[in-house]
Amino acid sequence: MKLTKPNIPAELPQGNFQDILYEEDPHLSNIEIEGSHFDNELLDRVHLNNMVIKQSTFQHTSFENIDITDVLFENCDLSNADLSTASIHRVAFKNCKLLGVQFIEGRFGNVSFENCVLSLCNFGDSKFEKTQFSESNLQNADFFNCKLAKTIYSYCDLTGTNFDSTKLKGIDISTSHFETLVVKMEDLKGCIVSQDQAIHFASMLGLDIR
């Protein structure tokens, strides 16, 4: 699966995320931000587009209804931020800490999470189209009642991840690791798994494998 990468200009002027507080509408675009700290803030209906954001923190900040398009987040910390009902398209998260982020009722398209910490994230009731999680920690993340289309979990830790009421048909988890997984057996139909994972799921059914 090939994702459409963020459309970001090769050269961008430097900016500071704090500048958004002085905008009539909470909107930032066409800048590169590095080393900003925007923790414990509250902003609704933020728009971010055509940007690079590096080594910045947004811990415990509420960004409900945020719209993010054509943005790269690199080495950022969004732990415990609230991005409920977010619209996220053509966005890349690289080496980011997203521990406990609220992504409920989000919309994701052409989004990549690479080498990220996503433990305890809540993606409940979200829709995914062409999304890739690679080499990321998704322990105890929640994908309850999600719609997954063209979504890949590549070399991730899925231990304790909740896929309850989420159909996994066509979803590839074959390279990922988990010790336990919350999923209904009927929702596993068509899921792409490894041989070892197939044996694990068979044991969940109570089969005697010899």
pLDDT in tens, 179-198: 888 999 899 889 999 988 88
User: Residue 102 pLDDT > 80, yes or no?
Assistant: yes
Mean pLDDT of the chain: 94
Is residue 6 a part of any domain in this protein? no
Structure tokens at 152: 């890949």
Mean predicted confidence (pLDDT) in 86-95: 98
Percent of the residues in the chain that have a pLDDT greater than 90, as a whole number: 85
Q: Is residue 14 part of a domain?
A: no
Task: List the single range of 13-22, 51-60, 68-77 with lowest mean pLDDT.
Answer: 13-22
The pLDDT value recorded for residue 208 is 60
Give the list of residues 6+ apart from residue 160 with CB closer than 8 angstroms, or none.
Answer: 139, 140, 178, 179, 180, 181, 182
Say which CATH number the domain at 54 has: 2.160.20.80
pLDDT of residue 151 exceeding 90, the answer is: yes
Q: Is residue 112 part of a domain?
A: yes
Question: Is 37 within the bounds of a domain?
Answer: yes
The reply to whether 71 falls in a domain is yes
Average pLDDT over residues 76-98: 98
Query: Can you give the residue range of the structural domain that contains 50?
Result: 31-204
In the prediction, which pLDDT does 56 show? 98
pLDDT at 210: 62
Task: With H, G, I as helix, E, B as strand and everything else as coil, classify residue 18.
Answer: helix
> What's the pLDDT at 84?
98
Q: How far apart are CA 112 and CA 93, in angstroms?
A: 6
How many domains does the chain contain in total? 1
Provide the pLDDT confidence category of residue 206 given band limits of 50, 70 and 90: low
Q: Which two tokens stand for residue 92?
A: 């890349």
Strand 47-54 with 67-74, pairing: parallel
Interval 125-145: pLDDT, tens: 999 999 999 999 999 999 999
Rounded Cα distance, 45 and 32, in Å: 20
- Which band of pLDDT confidence, cut at 50, 70 and 90, is reported for residue 205? low
151 vs 110: CA distance, rounded Å: 10
What pLDDT, on the 0 to 100 scale, is given for residue 37? 96
Instruction: Indicate whether 102 belongs to any domain.
Output: yes
